[in-house]
Copies of this chain bind each other. A is one copy, B any other.
């Protein structure tokens, strides 16, 4: 028995900057869908794990090294690729965009961050993949502290608050939100302040991942 199914990986990478969520897309250099936008990804090599394949492709095509990566879903519709049967394992990644300089290479003619509400037409079934990834991001920030992967290591509380209002798509009470997050005891308050523009300078905070995992083991759950 010998199939000729090809296996690929794709990565939906989210970033957050200046109050809006963006996703990293590439413009395809080759057929099919040459010149159109797509989620970065490519074929898995013979002796490579799926995660390694994702990391390699991202590095090759966009120059990005990922901070947070998890498997999203496997898309296996027989006709999703016009060339042949290609099954793709999609991943979901988060980065701090400020930390990386993106550049196109190999299969990518161009790389660009797109706001998730200003997306171009996408190749293959990538729209479906992206839709699923957005749903996952919105759901997951309410029960796992993954939002911190999108912020700088040190951040003022207002950044976190803004991230959540953006992702949840609704207003949240600033005072109650602060109380709730601080009561979880997973943030370290630093002795630094930032002043961006007018207004009172804000204290900087840092996510204490180690403490979070310890609390998680003890059964304390993150829940917004």
Contacts and interface: CB of A to CB of B under 8 A. Distances in A.
Interface of A: 1-7, 43-50, 71, 73-74, 76-78, 85, 87, 89
Contacts of A85: 46-47
A73 B73 CA distance: 7
Contact of A49 (B1, B3, B73, B77): B77
B3 A76 contact: no
Contact of A78 (B1, B47, B87): B47
Nearest to A9: B76
30 contacts: A1-B43, A2-B4, A3-B6, A3-B7, A3-B43, A3-B45, A3-B46, A5-B5, A5-B7, A5-B44, A5-B46, A7-B7, A7-B76, A44-B76, A44-B87, A46-B78, A46-B85, A47-B78, A48-B78, A49-B76, A49-B77, A49-B78, A50-B74, A50-B76, A71-B73, A71-B74, A74-B74, A74-B89, A76-B89, A87-B89
Copies in the complex: 2
Contacts of A3: 6-7, 43-46
6 A-B pairs with the lowest CB-CB distances in the bound complex, closest first:
A50-B76, A74-B74, A5-B7, A74-B89, A47-B78, A7-B87
Contacts of A6: 3, 5
A2 B83 CA distance: 13
A163 B4 CA distance: 43
Nearest to A4: B46
Nearest to A87: B7
A147 to B, nearest CB: 20
Given A76-B89, A87-B89, 7 more contacts: A1-B43, A4-B46, A7-B7, A7-B76, A44-B87, A46-B78, A47-B85
A2 B7 CA distance: 10
Nearest to A78: B47
Nearest to A52: B78
Contacts of A77: 49
A4 B85 CA distance: 13
A46 B3 CA distance: 7
Contacts of A87: 7, 44, 50, 89
